[in-house]
Structure 1
Amino acid sequence: MDTAFAFTLSTPGLLAVAAGAIAVLLFLIIKVKLHPFLALVIVSIATALATGVTVDDLLPTLLSGFGKTLGNVALLIGFGAILGRIVAISGGAKVLADTLIRICGKDKAPLGLSIASLLFGFPIFLDAAFVVMLPVIYSIARELRGSLLIYALPAAGAFLVMHALVPPHPGPVAAAVFLEGDIGLVLLVALIVGLPTWYLAGYQLSLWLAKRTPFHPVPDLMGGADSDEVERTSLPRFSTILLVLLLPLALIFMNTGITTLISAGTLPEDNPVLGTLTLIGETPVALLISLCLAMWLLLLRGHEKGAMGAVNETIEKALAPVCSIILITGAGGMFGGVLTASGIGEALADSLQSLGLPLLVAGYVIAAVIRIAQGSATVAGTTAAGILAPAVLDSSLSGMPLACVVVAVVAGAIGYSHVNDSGFWLVGRFLGMETKTMLKTWSVVSTAISLMAFCLAWALFTVLT
């Protein structure tokens, strides 16, 4: 596709179009009450035309962002929703919720969920981990009759910290590769920076915001308190539910380990056994394997042959509510893709590069500006690292100080989540939150996580140099 149109406007012109597009989008969703899917598509078309996309290029530009986002999240949401409903209607979510409440106590249930999410989010992407954890979050909120946000936001904050800062997630790994940083040292710095960031910004701030937001009920997306459950003589065992939920974690971690060792040259590239294990550990495949195991252990085992009909009905009920979420998430990716194709992020980054900021500060600011402009954290992190790479490689930075620069870049790339971020819509739709509420909670949490991680990375960099 010809993308010459992307640079026909000056940087101020591109910035004005982006600001206007976001303002119109918020007006349509908040004031006009237009469905977010339609609002995102309409504004994406208008923005593309305003930035110089030709009629011939318009549809490919729109579908590129839409299709790429759906390719990443549709299977994850679909498999995760089915797995979540199976765990919920089998009583598994109640078993996990009761166990967590018993261990942590009712008052510390949000902390327990946030810690569990922190561990669960180590090798698995935010969207997949969040969807798999949702039935437990829903169940605890129903069990304790509290506002959903009190339990969901601290968990989501933990997932965001892990996804943003810690290898083997793609942002930190890509930035480390561009800047030639040591992955092990990046992991060490990410943990030093990430743990206090999680506790203060991911957990404490999330809990504070949730308690000051009006009561938020649990949406009936994965089996509600009044949903028809599969008849069972007893609830599933805690170990069975743990196996079902931790299996994708283990498979994805295996994939990450093998891929890392192959990249380092420790393992051969063309080994068919390793290739098969890597395939099994791909996130969609890992979720599908766990889903099939859950169907057998929680719904089919011990039941008559006709139980497959009930399983299919469960799948139908799981997929129906999330179709809207999938489309809205894809439309969010479409809007972000249009902004990316317009050249807004690159134009702003080029302008910022000429300001002569210190390398660590410049990396954060460039990543943050690109993130605000076009929405994708991965694009923001990799683009900022690529822009910064020549200056970093010409400097004498290495070891821990270089790892601090990598962490600062990815910290800038994950913050400031708003309406051009597909993850903003995914979290908001699953929690049943209005756009205005998301801006007052999720956007604030992501910004706080970004700023705190950057400040801690900068402080550590200053001490080390």
Structure 2
Amino acid sequence: MLETLSSGLSPLAAADVGRAFEPGTPVLLTIAALAIVLLLVLIIKVRLHAFFALIITSLATGLAAGIHYGEVFDVVVDGFSSTIGGVALLIGFGAVLGRLVEVSGGAQVLADRMLATFGEKRAPLALAVASLFYAFPIFLDAGFIVMLPIIYTVARRLQGGFMIYVLPSVGAFLMMHALTPPHPGPTAAATVMGADIGTVLVVAMLVGIPTWYLAGYRLGLLLAKNHPNMPVPDIFGEPEITEHVRAPKFGTVIFCLLLPLALIFYNTVFSTLESTGAVDSGNVGLTISKLIGPTPIALLIATLAAMYLLYLRPRRGVQDVRSGLSDLVDKAFAPVCSIILITGAGGAFGGVLTATGIGDSIASALDSFGMPVILAGFLVAVAVRVAQGSATVAATTAGSIMAPSVAELGLEGFGLAAIVVAIVAGSITCSHFNDSGFWMVGRFCGFDTLTTLKTWSVIGTAIGVLAFLLAWVVYALVA
């Protein structure tokens, strides 16, 4: 999954699951391939809803791979719940915040300022650059949902097809989330491999900026040409700006959008200080950061602030304003329920694939091939990513597997950081049906399953491969 709070809640490991029989690695790989084919048939040919298709395929895959019939449902539920627990909060709060920004006229205010500053022709670039900054301290799930109303508004105003505006921003969020600390994947991989976080960040940005421009922004524009007339989705509904209520000021909207970033960044700073021993567990600042800095809490605080600043305060004296706010929240929740369920079902499928041991089998085989350590790390991360879906788990697992080999080389500084970046590049590559982000972003963008494969998956894979190649160049220069 793309990273949510659930990244720390792993589905049941293969060793924890009762087995009716133990298939070998070739059989497991065949089952995994057939499972993906079954999903494609159910969703594309049979036209079965993705939620049902994912649950059915998860159950069938678990049984075929030898999970005991009495435990296969538990494995599915575990994968579903560990994913949806964090996703539901992020999507729920993010959807309400996004709806408030749109209904209040805040999205229009931001779009007007952006277009006046950068011009209509540079609108896709302006949205992508804004996404780069917004994606730095915040998980892709939450940041992308909050950015969507602005992207919707710009696309509605300028027309020309929705994809030309959304795909460059998708590339920006993917690159920042995959490569840069403080996101969980690169932070975890750097930690288990003993790399300095600051050095990893420098290498990640050195590699990431050209990667984003070529594989995110430029490739996004190229892919958008295949869908020139795609309409803007109405996930949040059409704008419902009240005529006699003034639109919020630019600074007020920016404050509401930057508030969760500031809280998350505050938490990240103190978490880093705690890990280095600079502050102890009794530090007041650290305690406060743990209370207000987790992503769902930061979004909750920002959403409450937006309720007052963007909706209640401008409507003082309006009759039944609080009932109107309640209706707004209901309207924001209604369209995202299906997305939450599909995302959880994607996590269930990933949980089943993890429980079968497919990822461990592939990773161990690749690690024993004797290839260059940086290439082996990348391929191990790709294998784990394909097998179970989570970029954080893929980065952490690959880093743990490769750490002994890297330690024998005595690498440090930029050489070690380059290997970390190569590994996390692999962790974002080849997103497919077991990645909850695949379903979340696809549904919020109004893409069908095949279109999501042709856009989200292609951009993510291009970013992963190009980032790996550039990291290898850095490694060759400094190691």
Q: How far apart, in 2, do the equivalents of 1:145 and 1:357 lie?
A: 49
Report deviation, 1:6. 9.8
Structure 1: distance between partners of 2:421 and 2:285: 34
For each residue in 1:263-308, what CA deviation from the matched residue of structure 2 results, as whole angstroms up to 9, or x when unmatched? 1100111334421222201100110111011110111114236210
Q: Distance in 1 between matches of 2:448 and 2:320?
A: 41
Aligned-partner residue type, residue 418 of structure 2? C
- The match for 1:93 is 107
Counting only pairs closer than 5 Å after superposition, residues 343-382 of structure 1 correspond to structure 2 as 343-382=357-396
Deviation at 1:182, TM superposition (A): 0.8
Q: In the aligned structure 1, how far is the partner of 2:225 from the partner of 2:322?
A: 42
Q: How does 1:189-204 map to 2 (within 5 A)?
A: 189-204=203-218
Does the Cα contact within 8 Å between 1:381 and 1:409 map onto a contact in 2? yes
Q: In structure 2, the residue corresponding to 1:18 is in which secondary structure?
A: helix
Aligned 8 A contact 1:349 1:370 in 2 = yes
Q: Secondary structure at the match of 1:108?
A: helix
Q: Distance in 2 between matches of 1:63 and 1:429?
A: 22
1:233-272 alpha-carbon deviations (Å, 9 max, x no partner): 3211110100000100111000100100011100111334
The AA in structure 2 aligned to 1:303 is R
Structure 2 match to 1:303: 316
2:83 is paired with a residue whose SS is helix
2:141 aligned partner: 127
Number of residue-to-residue matches in the alignment: 463
Match of 1:243 in 2: 255
309, 312, 315: which one aligns with 2:326:
312
Distance 2:301 2:244 in 1: 23
Deviation (angstroms), 1:57: 1.3
Q: How far apart, in 1, do the equivalents of 2:386 and 2:471 lie?
A: 21
What's 1:331 paired with? 345
Q: Secondary structure at the match of 1:56?
A: coil
- Output aligned runs, 1:377-456, within 5 Å: 377-456=391-470
The one of 265, 275, 288 equivalent to 1:253 is 265
Q: Deviations over 1:123-150 (max 9, x none)?
A: 1010010001010001101111231111
TM-score normalised by L of structure 1: 0.97
Helix, strand or coil at the partner of 2:235: coil
Whole-angstrom CA distance in 1 between matches of 2:65 and 2:335: 35
Whole-angstrom distance in 2 between the partners of 1:232 and 1:277: 40
In the alignment, the residues of structure 2 paired with residue 233 and residue 445 of structure 1 have an alpha-carbon distance, to the nearest angstrom, of 41
Conserved in 1, the CA contact under 8 Å of 2:378 and 2:425? yes
Q: Does the aligned pair in 2 maintain the 1:254–1:278 contact within 8 Å?
A: no
Confirm whether residue 155 of structure 1 aligns to residue 169 of structure 2.
yes
Question: Helix, strand or coil: the match of 2:234?
Answer: coil
Equivalent position of 1:77 in the other structure: 91
Number of the residue aligned with 1:277: 289
Question: Any idea what the Cα deviations from partners look like across 1:437-458, whole Å, max 9, x if unmatched?
Answer: 1111111101100000000000
In 1: Cα distance, 2:199 partner to 2:17 partner:
38
Q: 2:299 aligns with which of 263, 267, 287?
A: 287
Coordinate RMSD, CA, aligned? 1.3
Q: Check the 8 A contact 2:271/2:286 in 1, yes or no.
A: no
Does residue 476 of structure 2 align to residue 459 of structure 1? no
* Paired residues for 1:179-218 under 5 Å: 179-218=193-232
Alignment check: 8 A CA contact 1:6 1:341 kept = no
CA-to-aligned-CA distance 1:93-129 (integer Å, 9 cap, x gap): 0011111111111111000000000011001010010
Which runs of 5 or more residues in structure 2 are unaligned?
1-11
**Cα distance between partner residues in 2 of 1:431 and 1:412:** 25
Taking only the aligned residue pairs, the percentage that are identical comes to 55
Q: 1:7 to 1:82 in 2, by over 3 A?
A: farther
Alignment partners' CA distance in 1, 2:63 and 2:282: 46
Q: 225, 237, 240: which one pairs with 1:228?
A: 240
Whether 2:180 is the aligned partner of 1:166: answer yes
Q: Distance in 2 between matches of 1:279 and 1:46?
A: 42
The 8 Å contact of residues 197 and 452 in structure 1, kept in 2 or not, is answered as yes
| Gaps in structure 1 of 5+ consecutive residues | none
Q: Post-superposition shift, 1:83?
A: 0.6
- Distance in structure 1 (CA, Å) of the matches to 2:369 and 2:18: 27
Contact between 2:390 and 2:435, CA under 8 Å: does it hold in 1? yes
Is it true that 1:65 corresponds to 2:79 in the alignment? yes
Distance 1:228 1:174 in 2: 43
Separation (CA, whole Å) in 1 of partners of 2:19 and 2:384: 19
Match of 1:15 in 2: 29
Are the equivalent residues in 1 in contact too, given 2:395–2:427 (CA < 8 A)? Answer: yes
Partner Cα separation in structure 1 for residue 21 and residue 94 of structure 2: 40
Q: Is the 8 A contact 1:230 1:299 kept in 2?
A: no
Aligned equivalents of 1:210, 1:231: Cα separation in 2:
35
Structure 1, residues 162-182: CA drift from partner, whole Å, max 9, x if none? Answer: 000000000001101111011
Aligned to 2:6: none
Q: Which amino acid aligns with 2:156?
A: R
SS, match of residue 257 in structure 1: helix
Distance 1:455 1:195 in 2: 14
